[in-house]
Structure 1
Amino acid sequence: MKKWMYIICSVFLLTACGGGGNTSEQNEGLKKVTVVLDWTPNTNHTGLYVAKEKGYFKERGLDVDIILPGEAGADQLVASGKAEFGVGYQESVTQARVQDVPLVSIAAVIQHNTSGFASPKDKGITTPKDFEGKSYGGWGSPVEKAVMTSIMKQENADVEKVDFVNMGDTDFFTAVKRDVDFAWIYYGWTGIEAELRGEELNMMYVKDYSEKLDYYTPVLTTNEKMMKKDPETVKAFLSASSKGYGFAIDNPEEAGEILLDAAPDLDKELVMKSQEWLAPKYKDDADRWGEQKLEVWENYASWMYDNDLLDKELDSKKAFTNEFLPK
């Protein structure tokens, strides 16, 4: 689930990622659409695989291929119309919109930000002040330093005393043993893996330091042209996806098995534990799964602008919509 650890594969590898095993004869008369993942299959995506396996997409007239990102990435494929839907992040949608890229977030997969800075307990990093004199493993984005600066300032700590190291494709557990002291992770995957390994972590969720950092990650996306020319397909896609995530919320064990059937190379124990942890967080305190708040978009955009991460202010109302979610 780490954004920087993409495993690049061709967008044509449909068999490995599509799941469901539908034949062309069975799908005759259905509208064929593609959803591009942000990374390899994981529990952020379970609702999509459930919707495919349980026939929810088919019930709504869709033949959906779930594919891995190619070198272009999900955002670029969706924005250009080469794929109808994708899995993205509020961060990247915000940056795209400011550059007039017609990418739109149509549903929040998870209601609250489950990411943060993690370190092995024996490193003794329990507050942002402790980042000083330590090495941080990241992916080279300006957002990382801005977030770290923001939370370190609250303790009068100096971000310039942190050694930034580009981890590349190195996994978290190898990196913190060999190269760095802490890194930015999603607890729902890497944190759960640490639990299973018996490796205790100190975890600092970024949302705990500022409400402006409690943004939506990940989200489902489409493009403006798709919304205008084929709104019924967008509604059908979200109706089925909502039903899929609803099933995952109520039936995490069976949903986990469906994900494993679609992606058998995943570690079963990790998937099942992650699914159990994440199930209540998909909808959380929202009125319905997928709901997005204007306040959340405005808060994060203003934070990015104030930290010189955007060239201009975002028109948040154009970056997301709840219009296509089932009522």
Structure 2
Amino acid sequence: MKKWLALLFSAMLLTGCSTAKNDSSSKNAASSDKKQKSLQKVSVVLDWTPNTNHTGLYVAKEKGYFKQEGLDVNIVKPGETGADQLVASGKAEFGVGYQEGITQARIQGVPIVSIAAIIQHNTSGFASPVEKNIKSPKDFEGKTYGGWGSPVEKSVISSLMKKENADVKKVKFVNIGQTDFFTAVKKNIDFAWIYYGWTGIEAELRGEKLNMVYLTDYSKKLDYYTPVLTTSEQMISKKPEIVKAFVRAASKGYQFAIKHPNEAADILIKAEPDLDPKLVKKSQEWLASKYQADAPRWGEQKLEVWENYASWMYENGLLDKKLDAKKAFTNEFLPK
């Protein structure tokens, strides 16, 4: 009898422990589910196919920086509708855009705002294979330019050529749309507008030598922010804490990419396996020092940069009126 009672007591103890353990597990699971459900879902729309301009966002997602800020962030690849339109209409909370696009949008009354500069200085320029012998804007004469049909392109090329008393009317303009740069220059064009940090690095890997005519070598006004992170005025006024949380996490992501370019590249490659790993690695190494450059902190924007480019656009007939630059960007959400 005593033996039977002892066995019963032991069974009760085991059952009690098991129940307590299950209760504890259930509470932990419930707590985890509650925490997961409490995350604020937001989207950030890319400006182009994923590349090293976007690495900080992928790092922030992979490293849990967004989750630490209470956000569940969906990184969306661009479709037929551009990032600026989706952000301005409220269909996406955040986007990747350009100073040029935001300037034009605001002139048209579109309430979109730049909240951080992804790269401090304009790293773009006009690229051509060395055998084309295009070494300066004057050499654009008699050549064919391949672009995407924006009036900004002709204005930029014209302004650079004027500095060397060259005539933009002697340049043939062709719309190449989505055609790959390396394919286009072997067919029907001589030069195109590229970002060196991606296409220029790809040329290095291919062993194809390029001549570069950088915009910033010819005009301070063309040293604008490209790309930038954007949001809407509505998000800023109604959900400032979410904007602040997003920028804080993104800042951590880009700071990580600055300090650990190789590991950051691995994160982007893991998330987007269709990308060329060698290109991502070399591009990331090149871009790491460009994200913050000479700014006191990553993402910082200057009023004079916004005013300079807007005045250039106005002078070149690309804007109907002058921009209120103070409303086009803000540094208020950047970590101190």
- The one of 258, 275, 282 aligned to 1:266: 275
Structure 2 residue 213 is the aligned partner of structure 1 residue 204: yes
Within a 5 Å distance, the mapping from 1:316-327 to structure 2 comes to 316-327=325-336
Equivalence for 2:266:
257
Once the two structures are TM-superposed, the CA of residue 177 in structure 1 deviates from its matched residue by 0.7
Within a 5 Å distance, the mapping from 1:120-131 to structure 2 comes to 120-131=129-140
* TM-score, structure 1 as length reference: 0.92
Structure 2 residue 298 is the aligned partner of structure 1 residue 300: no
How many pairs are equivalent?
305
- The one of 179, 182, 188 aligned to 2:197: 188
Once the two structures are TM-superposed, the CA of residue 70 in structure 1 deviates from its matched residue by 2.1
Within a 5 Å distance, the mapping from 1:210-225 to structure 2 comes to 210-225=219-234
Whose Rg is larger? 2
Q: Secondary structure at the match of 2:36?
A: coil
Q: Secondary structure at the match of 2:322?
A: coil
- The one of 85, 88, 91 aligned to 2:94: 85
For residues 28 and 256 of structure 1, the distance between their equivalents in structure 2, rounded to whole angstroms, comes to 30
For residues 257 and 35 of structure 2, the distance between their equivalents in structure 1, rounded to whole angstroms, comes to 25
One-letter amino acid matched to 1:29: S
Once the two structures are TM-superposed, the CA of residue 223 in structure 1 deviates from its matched residue by 0.3
Name the structure with the higher helix share.
2
For residues 27 and 172 of structure 1, the distance between their equivalents in structure 2, rounded to whole angstroms, comes to 44
For residues 262 and 73 of structure 1, the distance between their equivalents in structure 2, rounded to whole angstroms, comes to 22
For residues 247 and 136 of structure 2, the distance between their equivalents in structure 1, rounded to whole angstroms, comes to 40
One-letter amino acid matched to 2:234: K
- The one of 257, 268, 271 aligned to 1:248: 257
Q: Secondary structure at the match of 1:27?
A: helix
Q: Deviations over 1:252-284 (max 9, x none)?
A: 000000000110000000000000000000000
Equivalence for 2:46:
37
Structure 2 residue 95 is the aligned partner of structure 1 residue 76: no
For residues 142 and 316 of structure 1, the distance between their equivalents in structure 2, rounded to whole angstroms, comes to 21
For residues 325 and 65 of structure 2, the distance between their equivalents in structure 1, rounded to whole angstroms, comes to 31
Q: Deviations over 1:116-168 (max 9, x none)?
A: 00000011000111100000000010000000000000110000000001112
One-letter amino acid matched to 1:304: M
- The one of 155, 159, 171 aligned to 1:150: 159
For residues 263 and 94 of structure 1, the distance between their equivalents in structure 2, rounded to whole angstroms, comes to 31
**C-alpha RMSD over aligned residues:** 1.1
- The one of 103, 106, 116 aligned to 2:112: 103
Equivalence for 1:236:
245
Q: Secondary structure at the match of 2:116?
A: strand
One-letter amino acid matched to 1:134: K
Equivalence for 2:69:
60
Bigger Cα displacement from structure 2, 63-72 vs 185-194: 63-72
One-letter amino acid matched to 2:93: E
For residues 170 and 150 of structure 1, the distance between their equivalents in structure 2, rounded to whole angstroms, comes to 25
Within a 5 Å distance, the mapping from 1:281-292 to structure 2 comes to 281-292=290-301
Equivalence for 1:119:
128
Equivalence for 1:9:
none
Once the two structures are TM-superposed, the CA of residue 27 in structure 1 deviates from its matched residue by 2.9
For residues 57 and 136 of structure 1, the distance between their equivalents in structure 2, rounded to whole angstroms, comes to 42
For residues 149 and 215 of structure 2, the distance between their equivalents in structure 1, rounded to whole angstroms, comes to 18
For residues 112 and 280 of structure 1, the distance between their equivalents in structure 2, rounded to whole angstroms, comes to 11
For residues 25 and 160 of structure 1, the distance between their equivalents in structure 2, rounded to whole angstroms, comes to 64
Q: Secondary structure at the match of 1:87?
A: strand
Distance 1:58 1:135, change over 3 A: same
Equivalence for 1:13:
none
Once the two structures are TM-superposed, the CA of residue 69 in structure 1 deviates from its matched residue by 1.5
For residues 268 and 35 of structure 1, the distance between their equivalents in structure 2, rounded to whole angstroms, comes to 24
One-letter amino acid matched to 2:83: A
One-letter amino acid matched to 2:203: A
Q: Return 5+ residue gaps in structure 1 as ranges.
A: 1-22
Q: Deviations over 1:277-317 (max 9, x none)?
A: 00000000000000000000000000000000001000000
Once the two structures are TM-superposed, the CA of residue 24 in structure 1 deviates from its matched residue by 8.0
Q: Secondary structure at the match of 1:52?
A: helix
For residues 25 and 277 of structure 1, the distance between their equivalents in structure 2, rounded to whole angstroms, comes to 42
